[in-house]
Amino acid sequence: MEAIELFGITIHNVTMAEAVEGVRRLLAGDGKHILVTPNVDHIVRLSRDAEFADAYRRASVVLADGMPVVWGSRWLGRPLKERVTGSDLVPLVCGLAAEGGYSVYFLGAMPGVAEAAIGNLKRRFPNLRVAGCYSPPFGFERDDAENRAIIERLNAARPDILFLGLGPAKQEKWIARHVDVLNIRLALCIGAGIDFAAGSLSRAPVWMQRAGLEWLYRLLREPQRLWRRYLIEDTAFAGILWRERGRLRAAHVSTHVE
């Protein structure tokens, strides 16, 4: 897949259809792979969190999940084709799995949510093979015994595809730490994708998604949980954009001088 360098990471420059085809090729090949979907929140965290950045470097596929990231790429003169969200990938990859005979596992979300998501996806894709699901307790990532138990669960289930809905940074760090001991082909970090598949969270209207306002829709739905992230922390993205613009201009001048 074509890729470009932006914000200190490699982002694959693909359409949704090309992303799904890339997933198909990975599943048909050898090795273990991680798929991540950076949005503005991720870009800001990457600039501050070394472990998160290291986790991103372990990823085989990096897809821009967020219209501001796409708009920023265009402003910087390195345009991404389109937004490719983890939430949209869930049903598409499940359809691919049902067609190809691959099994899936859902790790994350609140108790009962993954089961609801599985029910919805099975109705849509009757041939979908579900290896299992599990909702880890709060703070599980700091509990060595719980982490060992999760690894044992997953290796007993042996899913081809692992969907991780553990929240930003936590899911990427967790899979980067443990992928080498897991019997999987592909892990997708999908944030709230399990909740959306279950219907426990609703997506923003399409016009808001296209206008880059999905963050506002989610903020209005969950203000106490999200206000700090969207209204304070993520404003640092503007500074990151300006620094990236300066870096690219300097690189351009240096190339031409040489």
pLDDT of residue 253: 60
Residue with tokens 């553990």: 166
With a cut of 50, list the residues of the chain below it in pLDDT: 257
**Domain map (residue ranges) of the chain:** 3-254
Give 22-76 pLDDT, tens digit per residue.
Answer: 999 999 998 999 999 999 999 999 989 999 999 999 999 999 998 999 999 999 9
**How many angstroms separate the CA atoms of 7 and 148, rounded?**
34
Instruction: Locate all alpha helices (DSSP H) within the chain, ordered by sequence.
Output: 16-28, 40-46, 50-57, 67-75, 86-100, 113-124, 144-157, 170-178, 193-198, 206-210, 214-221, 223-231, 236-257
pLDDT of residue 32: 95
- What percent of the chain is modeled with pLDDT above 90? 72
Taking the alpha carbons of 135, 173, 37, 233 in that order, is the dihedral positive or negative?
positive
pLDDT of residue 254: 56
pLDDT of residue 203: 81
